[in-house]
Each structure stands twice: as structure tokens, then as C-alpha cells.
Copies of this chain bind each other. A is one copy, B any other.
């Protein structure tokens, strides 16, 4: 594990320990150096997160309630000189981080060390590191952190049982930064506590959850709520008892209602025992098919959490049709900062353009919350690769203000993280970071293909790794063609979209190139809009992707990173170069073996 001393984007010293957001705001102002003017905080007791900034001649006045004051202070502290007057308010009530931390200290899909708060079945942490993390979360408006894995293993039941007091203590650290805790719960928990069933309509089960929720809130009165992954990838759920997910979610939401808690229900439900021979079932259709018919059946404190795409955090996916179709249900968007399929915090893959693409595709008003699967761990720099911190930063910015400009966000992060950089270095690094997603896409799976990763590990290429497995992730490449026809002539997935989008995607002439192989099955000799054949485009993208990584590596080496960052960046870049070459060569060989088509430019494709 590489550790580096440089930690995240707030480079100035931590103020003394505080207990409330108001105290924290005051302490940050007191400790701040180089403030252009005196900053005055005016507490308003509105009970919300809004704040107003007035940049007056002699002073800056921030008015707001506790949270608003804290956010206003961070805006001032992080500003680039210009401080604009106005009222701001985070776009969504819940801006959440989902940590997939296990009680044994491991993190599912974690690429930056072990858990910051669990070890060996218990809660154990370095309070100063938690405080530093809470400060960073608050600085970009994140206000909820779910501390345990959505796959709730047996030992994690203890979090709302014998370890509840320890959870409450952890909550108090985050509370000073206006970050509320959330807990992942197991739908089957009552079964481990002497109840014969977990049927959500059974009075014993209802009573059990009511009592347990009361107990939890007696210790953590401001807990944000519960997060549930049910009937998914082997997790228990209402289907076991012939109940709908509305019935399951509402039962839990009912128990939470009197405490102001929310029940976040993940919509990641699909058949993970699919037969590869079955060409009718199409996994991207699953979430919509399960949840759309339930629209309007959920209580007001239920939030359905929907992944940005219909699959599972591939490099590029169309927006999930479920996000566009629920009119009478509260939704949270779910994105993944952990780079599970996107380089695992070794390869550089920066998400500001992704966030822009998602919100452009969805519109800002479809959701009332956002959630991000955490990329945090106990590595000294919290996110493994120093640049992976940009994804956390940018997520907070977009979740607070979905109209954010990705270039601006990236530039701000670079400015804050590397304050000694010249403007030229800052611009260059921001440019590299902004390009990194499309570079990764090119050398891995361009044109929306996805899923050609090593099974289980999800790092590195395996063109047919998932082809005969049960996960519903097939491309069915043969000697003539590749891809799944998801149009009305095929699986009909496109019909889950509103008409205009459906028409756009249905037609391979109008479908964006970067999603062509997501929606269409195409022959290798198909001529694309730019005049190239599909197979030539495939070769070109892979070769270009590798070349771009080499250029990126060279440029990065020219930059004046702090020594500890430079070492980590270089070490990971060496691995990215190997990975990019491997992807390029394996994919080109794979498609060359299948198609028999030579590269027009006679570049090296191995036999």
C-alpha cells in the first residue's frame, strides 16, 4: 500500500476540536490566515442549509443557520479571490457517501487501504483522521455518510446492537461538521434475533423494527436513516415472502418516520443467475421492470437509490431509464467514486465530465438526493491515488450544485490541492484530468461495449470473461458482429426511455458513437458516421488510448508535485501504462482473431 503525506484539498491547518457546525465555522474563521477581510457570521435559526454571503466594503457577512454558516465559511476559505454576493442552498437535501466497509476492516471494492473505522469486528479509529475527513466532506457539502457495506454481513448486525454506543461516538465527530451518519441494515436481521420470519407485513417483524429503530435513535437522534440492499445478488428481501419492494421499504420507513429518518432503498435488482443461453432477458431492463410499476406506492420518507446507468458503473452507460420515469417517487442518484471498473485508483479516471454527462442526461429535478459509493480508505492520502480525491471533491460540488462546470470544478481542486502550482501547470493538470476518462475509455472498451474486465477482480482485460457467466453481461461477439441489439427489434430496452431518447438510441445513425455498441449489434464492416468501419474504429481507439497515456505520463513527470505525491503518481502511472498496453493488445488481438480484418495502418496486432 502506498501512503503519502499529502492529504486532500484543504491544505491549511485544522482548527481546534469543536462540537457543533457553528463552533466549527467560528473556529475555521479564527484559524484562517490570509483572509481578505474580516468575516462576520450571523446565525439565523432557519433550520435549513441555506446561507447568504454579502461581500461588503470592510467585511464579509455570512448569514445562515449552523450548516449554512459552515458552508459559507468553506466557500470563502476555498474561494479564488472573487467572492460573490448571493443566497445559496444545496440543490438536494441529502448528499450522501456510501462506504462499503466491512466490520473485519476490509472494504468491498476498496482501493485505498482498509476501513477508517472498522477493524477486526469492532469499531476502531483515529479520531483526528475522522475529523479531517469530516472537514473535507463538509467543505464540499456532503452531509450524510453511511459507514457500513450495503452487503451487510453477519458481524455488521452488531452496529445496531452491541456496538451501537460506539457508532454514536463516531457520529458525534461527524456531527461537528454537519455530517450525519447512516447505517446499512439487513432485511433479514430479525431472523438473527429470534423472530421466525422477516416478512415485512408480519406484526412481529414490524414490532421488532420499531423497537430496534427506537433504540438506535435513542443513541443517535440525528441518524439520517437506513440504507437497504434487498433481493439483490444474494441479499435477503421482501421477495422471499412474496411481498413487493414497496411493502418492504414502507415497513422500514414507517418505523423511521417519527424520528425524521429516511429509508434509502437501492434499486440494484436483477437476475444474477441468468442463463447465458437466454437472449430475451436483458439485465439493463431489470431495474425499470422491477420499480417503475411501483411508482407512487412508497411512503414520503422512502428514497429509491438508482445507479446512474442501467448496468453497473461501466466506463460509459446511457442514463438509467428508471431515473427518467418515476414521477411520484423520491429518487437518489447513485454514482461510484470507487473505481471498481475504471482503473481501481491505479489508472487515472476523473469523473467531473461523467457527473456533467449524468446530470445533463437526467435533469436536475428528477432526484432529491445523491449518493456516491466511497473511494475512501485508511491510506494516508485517503483515496489511494492523489488524483482520486478529485472524484470525491467533484461529487460533493455536483451534488450541491448540479449546474457546476466540470472544468471549473477540476481547476478549483487543482488550485486547492497544489497551491504552489503556476497557472500554466494548473491548467495543464486540469486538462489532463478532464481528458482522463475518455483516455481510459479508449484503451479499454470504447463505444459503450463494457464488461470485458477480468471476472471478480474487475481490473484488466478479459474479452470473454463474462460471456458464459450468470451475471447477464454479454456482448456475444462472433466472427461477423458484436453487441446486443437493445432496440425494439431486439430486447426492447430502448422502449424504457421517453420517446425522443428512445428514437435517438433506436437508430444507429443517430445513436451517439460512444454508446453505439451498448444499443446495437453491429457488423465489423459497418461504416460509422466518420467513414471508418467499426473494426477500424475499434483498433484506432485502442492504439490512440495507449498513445495518450504515454503523453499523459510525460506531461505529469514535468510537473512540480510535492515529493510524496510525485512518487505515488509515478508508481501508479507505470502500472497504468502496463494496463493500457495490455488492454490495447488483448482487445485488438481478440477482435482481429474474430474478424480477420487487418489494421489499415499496419500497427502491431499480435496473433
A interface residues with partner B (beta carbon < 8 Å): 276-277, 279, 461-465, 468, 476-480, 582, 585-586, 589, 592-596, 606-607
Contact = CB atoms under 8 A, between A and B. Distances in A.
A476 B606 CA distance: 10
A449 to B, nearest CB: 16
Given A277-B606, A606-B277, A596 B478 contact: yes
A575 to B, nearest CB: 16
Nearest to A593: B478
Going nearest first, the 10 A-B pairs with the smallest beta carbon separation are A478-B593, A479-B479, A464-B464, A277-B606, A468-B586, A479-B596, A479-B594, A277-B585, A279-B607, A479-B593
A596 B592 CA distance: 15
A443 to B, nearest CB: 15
A275 to B, nearest CB: 9
Each complex incorporates copies of this chain amounting to: 2
Contact of A480 (B462, B464, B582, B596): B596
Prevailing SS type, chain A contact patch: loop
Contact of A479 (B464, B585, B595, B607): B595
A287 to B, nearest CB: 25
A594 B478 CA distance: 6
A463 B469 CA distance: 12
Contacts of A277: 585, 606
Contacts of A479: 479, 593-596
21 contacts: A276-B586, A276-B606, A461-B468, A462-B464, A462-B468, A464-B464, A465-B465, A468-B582, A468-B586, A476-B593, A476-B607, A477-B593, A478-B592, A478-B593, A478-B596, A478-B607, A479-B479, A479-B593, A479-B594, A480-B596, A593-B594
Determine which residue in A461, A478, A582 has the highest number of CB atoms from chain B within 10 A of its CB, and name it.
Answer: A478
A465 B476 CA distance: 16
Contacts of A596: 478-480
A516 to B, nearest CB: 20
A462 B477 CA distance: 15
A112 B298 CA distance: 50
A595 B596 CA distance: 11
Nearest to A594: B479
A593 B480 CA distance: 8
Given A476-B607, A477-B593, A593-B594, 13 more contacts: A276-B586, A277-B585, A279-B607, A462-B464, A463-B464, A476-B593, A478-B594, A478-B596, A479-B479, A479-B594, A479-B595, A479-B596, A480-B596
Nearest to A582: B468
Contacts of A276: 586, 606
Contacts of A477: 593
Determine which residue in A465, A479, A596, A607 has the highest number of CB atoms from chain B within 10 A of its CB, and name it.
Answer: A479
Nearest to A581: B277
A222 to B, nearest CB: 45
A388 to B, nearest CB: 27
Nearest to A480: B596
Nearest to A481: B593
Contacts of A593: 476-479, 594
A603 to B, nearest CB: 14
Contacts of A607: 279, 476, 478
A586 B277 CA distance: 9
A592 B594 CA distance: 11
A178 to B, nearest CB: 46
A357 B409 CA distance: 70
A332 to B, nearest CB: 37
